[in-house]
Amino acid sequence: MSDQTDQICDEKIMGLKAGLKKLKTVIVAFSGGVDSAFLLAVAARSGLERLMAVTVDSAFVTREEIQRARQTAADLGVEHEVLEVDILSCEKVTVNSPKRCYHCKTEVFSLIRKTADQAGISHVLHGVNMDDLSDDRPGLRAAEELGFLAPLLEANFSKHQIRSCSRQMGLTTWNLPSQSCLATRIPFFDAITKQALSRIEQAEQFVRSLGVAQVRVRCHGNLARIETDAADFGAIVAHRKLISETLKGVGFKFVSLDLDGYRTGR
Give the DSSP H or E segment for 124: strand 123-125
Question: Do the Cβ atoms of 60 and 31 come closer than 8 Å?
Answer: no
pLDDT of residue 52: 98
Query: What letter represents residue 39's amino acid?
Result: L
Strand bridging mode 123-125 / 25-29: parallel
Confidence of residue 226 (pLDDT cuts 50, 70, 90): very high
- CA dist., res. 226 & res. 217, Å (int): 5
Domains 3-168 and 193-257 share a fold: no
CATH number of 193-257: 3.30.70
- CA dist., res. 251 & res. 90, Å (int): 25
Residue 112 DSSP one-character state: H
Residue 80: phi and psi, rounded to 5, are -140, 135
**What are the tens digits of pLDDT across the range 90-149?**
999 999 999 999 999 999 999 999 999 999 999 999 999 999 887 778 889 999 999 999
The CATH superfamily of 3-168 is HUPs (3.40.50.620)
For residue 34, how many C-alpha atoms fall within 13 Å in the half-sphere facing its CB? 22
Query: What letter represents residue 160's amino acid?
Result: H
**What are the tens digits of pLDDT across the range 144-164?**
999 999 999 999 999 999 999
Angle at 176 between CA 175 and CA 177, to 5 degrees: 115
CB atoms within 10 A of CB 172: 13
Q: How far is CA 147 from CA 113, 125, 168, 250, in A?
A: 9, 9, 31, 41
Each domain of the chain, given as residue ranges in start order, spans 3-168, 193-257
